[in-house]
Amino acid sequence: MESRIFSGIRPSGKLHLGNYLGAIKNWIELQDKPNTERAIFAVVDYHGITTPFNPKTYRQQVMDTILDFLAAGIDPKKSLLIRQSKIPEHTELAWIFNTITPVSWLDRLPTYREKLGETDGKYNHVGLLDYPVLMAADILLYKSNLVPVGEDQLPHMDLTNEIAKKFNSMFGQTFEPVKPHLAIGARIMSLQDPAKKMSKTPSASSGQAGDEYIALSDSPDEIRDKIKKAVTDSGNEIVFDPAKKPAISNLMTIYHLLSQNSVNEIEKKYGGKNYSEFKSDLAEVVVNFLNPFQEKRRELKNDLTYVEDVLMESEEKAKIIASSTLTEVKQKMGL
Ligand code: TYM
């Protein structure tokens, strides 16, 4: 079957290794598959404003995320790169979906509950609750059937399918089922708390903000420092056992995904060695992996006209698909 791929990332803060290993790495693999009919990757800036943001720097953050996509290997000859807010059909379709989505489908979702908790209920606005409906609109607007995401997004994928089914049953067959595409790195954990996913938001239990994640833009020294400070489990052996040794297993997953070594090979290589030897090697693996990415990013930063051109061209093409779906939806609804 031909794949029509869509995925997105919020431009909130710096992209980190969790975003890369859980999502972008897969995007790059999928854009090259022969049965990929189209691939669209978005900076979801309307989603990004559901949590605190700075209007003075937001535009820059959106551009920074686009630079990250390109530097990581998204190829504009194979994929479209878009900014969600430049294509108003996303929010139009979200509004339509709002009218068929019961509130009870939304207020039980774990990400909503987590976000409410993180901000002490301070940002309890309709947008936060409605966030997954806009996500369903992002995906279905392009009649996508494959969505490469990390594990935390699975409840949103289920919701997308529920909304599609309900729309089809009310107004006639329009949307196909959508499948998530999960990576092995679908859940990279925080360096400070292996029970929590790696995220840009610091947890109350941990030390300094920023020590929890490795940003794609971190300098070699920052990377070495963060890995050195990463929490480890009791004992001293380098063995992969996510249940009993969640911290070292998480670090091994990162090592495995960024190098050519399997988890087994890593266990063998570090048999008899201690955590600090393993950690200093891991730091070099990460530094070496990020070096070409950072180099490419610097080049792109000096060629913003090229980046703007890529966006304009992609958004124009995406808009054609978006408006055709919206016209079909409106016709079916008598709008
Ligand atoms: P966001 O911006 O939180 O994260 C972007 C992508 O990175 C993945 N991810 C992780 N994967 C593994 N380990 C981690 N620690 C980790 N942290 C983040 C996420 O699973 C995600 O794939 N709602 C989405 C954005 C969105 C979207 C869409 C995604 C909006 N519309 C349509 C797909 C399709 C979000 O907040 O992702």
304-333 and 126-141 helices, crossing angle to 10°:
90
pLDDT, tens digit, 9 for 90 and up, residues 22-62: 899 999 999 999 999 999 999 999 999 998 899 999 999 99
Tell me if 142 sits within 8 A of 322, measured CB to CB.
yes
> Can you name the residues that pair with 82 across neighbouring β-strands?
42
Considering only CA atoms, which residue is closest to atom 4 of ligand 1?
A: 9
318: closest CA among 34, 29, 41? 41
Reduced to 3 DSSP states, what percent helix, strand and coil does the chain have, rounded to the nearest 5? Answer: 55, 10, 35
Query: Ligand 1, from 149, 199, 258: best to mutate by most atoms within 8 Å of Cβ?
Result: 149
Tell me the CA–centroid distance for residue 160 and ligand 1, in Å. Answer: 15
Tell me the CA–centroid distance for residue 153 and ligand 1, in Å. Answer: 6
Tell me if 252 sits within 8 A of 273, measured CB to CB.
no
Residue recorded with tokens 């599609």:
164
Which of these ranges, 140-149, 233-242, 312-321, has the smallest mean pLDDT?
233-242
pLDDT, tens digit, 9 for 90 and up, residues 187-240: 999 999 999 999 876 544 445 668 999 999 999 999 999 999 999 999 989 999
List pocket residues of ligand 1, CB cut-off 6 Å.
Answer: 6-10, 18-19, 21-23, 44, 47, 135, 138-139, 147, 149-150, 152-153, 156, 185-188, 197-199
Tell me the CA–centroid distance for residue 149 and ligand 1, in Å. Answer: 6
Neighbours of 96 (CB within 10 A): 20
- For residues 140-167, give the mean pLDDT: 97
Which residues neighbour 271 within 8 Å (Cβ) at sequence distance 6 or greater?
Answer: 237, 238
Query: Ligand 1, from 4, 5, 9: best to mutate by most atoms within 8 Å of Cβ?
Result: 9
| pLDDT at res. 293 | 96
Q: Work out the pLDDT band at 12, boundaries 50, 70, 90.
A: confident
- For residues 236-263, give the mean pLDDT: 95
Distance (Å, rounded) from C-alpha 315 to C-alpha 335?
25
158: closest CA among 174, 175, 180? 180
